[in-house]
Chain A
Amino acid sequence: MDKLIHDFSFGLFIWQLLVFVALIFLLKKYAWKPILDAVNAREESIEGALKAAEKAREEMKALQSDNEAILKEAREERERILKEARDMKNKIVAEAKEAASAEADKTVAAAKATIEAEKTAAVTELKKQAATLSIEVAEKVLGQELSDANKQAEMIDKIIDDVKFN
């Protein structure tokens, strides 16, 4: 202890005191304050960024569920529209079919009527021509046959037979 006190250098103590106190204040102004402020600012900004990210994530989640609802709605809408369209199509097709078949029926009926009329006319014509032809044939046959008496008798017999059969 005696040696310690004897070796104590007052000059060194004063120098250390002056230099060290000056160093504290210089470093405070030029180093510690800016460094600690920067570190604090960074820590705050990191915290803020983390909070913002958390918030964004939650917003995203909400947005996603919104999207899903919208999507579901759209899907339903589409289904509905498609169904409507399908119904419409079926109806139109059915109507068209009905109309077509009616038209066809009408056409067929008209055709039938025409055919019938034509047929009747043709038959009438045929009958008329057949009668004419018969008369002509009969005229010619009679013209020939009547010149021969035997043949006349034969003829008359045949006709009588035919009439009998009829």
Chain B
Amino acid sequence: MHHNIHSKLSVSLALAGAIIFSVPAFAQDHNHHNDSRAEAAHDTHDHTDSEGGHDVKTQIKETIEHHLADSYEFTITEGVSFPLPVILFDEGLKVFSSSRFHHGESVAEVDGNYYLLYHSKIYKTDASGHLSMDEHHHPTNIMPLDFSITKNVFMILVMAGFMFFLFKAVAKAYQSGQTPKKAGRFLEPIIIYVRDEIAIPNIGEKHYKKYMSYLLTVFFFIWFMNLVGMTPLGINVTGNIAITFCLALITFIITQVSGNKHYWQHILWMPGIPVILKPVMAIIEILGLFIKPFSLMMRLYANMLAGHVVIMSIIGLIFVFGSWLIAPAFFGLTLVLSLLEVLVAALQAYIFTMLTALYFGSAVEDHEHH
């Protein structure tokens, strides 16, 4: 018990430390970003917010946006960043370092093609880097198929490697005895929790086994990614719609593939209601089929994104007020909200896994009572 409290305390302390050290970086961030913005504006002569680029509020807004967005380089702190490989499919495979974009300041020339980084997206341009804009200020230039190792892809790969070696080590410890060792002591109860409190009650004793691998992987992936997102490295993987879409899609596919006769009967021709209502219910059920994974996708995305925005905004308020009297109050508020986010990190992983198990359960349920 004492151990538990101690580890909780060290997490909070680490968090507090993380927040303290992230503040100076925050303050200095984005001078170069603004420059690049301004330059992009010069290039295109069609940029709206170049005027307010230097006031604090805009700076904060841009920093938050930058923090939430994916990136072609991995920024550890101001001035310390490393470029990541850009992989494009455009008349053949093009692989080059993102450093050739010079943080979006100049056009990258690869095999006679010119690419420009604008608002975290790569566009194909001419040698001068000209972007033609539509009425929504979106560039109409061609976007090549982009499979770059972005910051998020990099984090996914790191996390996959971390999880693989972590859980492999946990599994290996069981070869020399029946009790968990080291990290397994902490992780085994969680694995058993996923099995006994999430999988078995929702899917049932009979079918749960074949879904355990997915449920455990998705639970730990979301949880760990959420926690990594709380570090000041500016990682926002689970708050990215492409990630949550992918996870929800896998849940959706597994659910439909597992669906038994009763499941499809319930959706397409629901028993026990008047015939005239059956087609109506079928439409509602088919809509529900897509709404369920859609809600999974949006819930995780929105919760994680909102958490990041709120915390960063409150830190930002310290600089808006610029007063040493106000700063401690906002610092305290940030700390409290960060602790809340630690809870949310686990909670969202739990909810996603829980609902996924619930959908699997509905697909494999034996409707004997009908």
Interface residues of A (CB under 8 A from B): 4, 6-17, 19-28, 30-36, 38-39, 41-42, 45
B89 → chain A closest CB, angstroms: 9
Which residue of chain B has its CB nearest to the CB of A29? B213
A24-B217, A32-B213 known; A15 vs B156 contact (CB < 8 Å): yes
Complex: A21 Cα to B214 Cα, angstroms: 9
| Stretch from B19-27, B162-170, B329-337, B362-370 contacting the other chain | B162-170
Which residues of B are found within 8 Å of A9, using beta-carbon distances?
Answer: 70, 146, 150, 152, 240, 242
Asked if B243 and A16 sit within 8 Å, CB to CB, the answer is: yes
What separation, in Å, do the CA atoms of A21 and B221 have in the docked complex?
Answer: 12
Structural contact, A12 and B242, CB atoms closer than 8 A: yes
**Complex Cα distance A42/B188, Å?**
12
Q: B246 to A13, Cβ gap below 8 A?
A: yes
Whether A27 contacts B164 in the complex (CB less than 8 A), given A39-B188, A45-B178, comes out as yes
By the criterion CB–CB under 8 Å, are B171 and A30 in contact?
yes
B150 contacts A12, C-beta separation under 8 Å: yes
CB-based contact A8/B164 at 8 Å: no
18 contacts between A and B (CB under 8 A): A8-B241, A8-B242, A9-B152, A11-B145, A12-B152, A13-B245, A17-B249, A19-B153, A20-B160, A24-B217, A27-B164, A30-B164, A31-B167, A31-B170, A32-B216, A34-B175, A39-B188, A42-B178
Contact assessment for A22 and B160 in the assembled complex, using a CB-CB cutoff below 8 Å: yes
Least Cβ distance of A11 to chain B in Å?
A: 4
With a cutoff of 8 Å between Cβ atoms, the chain B residues found around residue A23 in the complex are 160, 163-164, 217, 221
On chain A, the residues within 8 Å of B217 by CB distance are: 20, 23-24, 27-28, 32
Q: Is A12 in contact with B70, judged by CB distance below 8 angstroms?
A: yes
Once the chains are docked, how many angstroms separate the CA of A139 from the CA of B147?
A: 181
The list of the 4 closest CB pairs from A to B, nearest first, reads A31-B167, A38-B174, A28-B213, A34-B171
> B346 within 8 Å of A by Cβ?
no
Chain B: interface secondary structure? Answer: helix
Q: Does B287 contact A (CB under 8 A)?
A: no
Q: Which residues of B contact A (CB under 8 A)?
A: 69-70, 87, 138, 145-150, 152-153, 156-157, 160, 163-164, 167-168, 170-172, 174-175, 178-179, 184, 188, 191-192, 195, 212-214, 216-217, 221, 240-243, 245-247, 249-250
Out of B153, B168, B243, B247, name the residue touching A30 (CB < 8 Å): B168
Besides the contacts A15-B149, A17-B246, A23-B221, what 12 more A-B pairs have beta carbons closer than 8 Å? Answer: A7-B241, A11-B150, A12-B153, A12-B242, A19-B157, A21-B250, A23-B217, A31-B164, A31-B171, A34-B175, A38-B174, A42-B178
Residues of B near A15 (CB, < 8 A) are 147, 149, 153, 156
Known A-B contacts A11-B150, A12-B150, A32-B213; A19 and B156 likewise in contact (beta carbons under 8 Å): yes
Which residue of A has the minimal Cβ distance to B215?
A32
Contact A27 to B213, CB < 8 A, known contacts A6-B138, A10-B242: yes
A153 to B139, CA, bound (A): 206
Q: What is the chain A residue whose CB lies nearest that of B192? A: A39
Question: A55 vs B246: C-alpha distance in the bound complex, in angstroms?
Answer: 53
Residues of A within 8 Å of B214, CB to CB, are: 24
CB-CB < 8 A to A28: which residues of B? 213, 217
Cα–Cα distance between A2 and B191 once the two chains are bound (Å) = 39
Question: In the bound complex, do residue A16 and residue B156 qualify as a contact, i.e. CB atoms below 8 Å apart?
Answer: yes
Contact (A36, B164) CB under 8 Å given A10-B146, A11-B147: no
A59 to B258, CA, bound (A): 49
Contact between B174 and A35, CB atoms less than 8 A apart: yes
- In the complex, the answer to whether A16 meets B246 with C-beta atoms within 8 Å is yes
Complex formed: what's the CA distance from A17 to B242 in Å?
Answer: 10
Query: Contacts A23-B164, A28-B213, A36-B212; is A12 near B145 (CB within 8 Å)?
Result: no
Inter-chain contacts of B160 with A (CB < 8 A): 19-20, 22-23
B109 → chain A, closest Cβ, in Å? 21
Q: Is the CB of A20 within 8 A of B250?
A: yes
Given known pairs A9-B242, A12-B242, the reply for A20 and B247 (CB within 8 Å) is yes
- Residues of the A chain whose Cβ atoms lie less than 8 Å from the Cβ of B178: 38, 41-42, 45
- With the chains together, A10 CA to B121 CA distance in Å? 11
Q: Complex Cα distance A101/B185, Å?
A: 93
Contacts of A32 in B (CB 8 A): 167, 171, 191, 212-213, 216-217
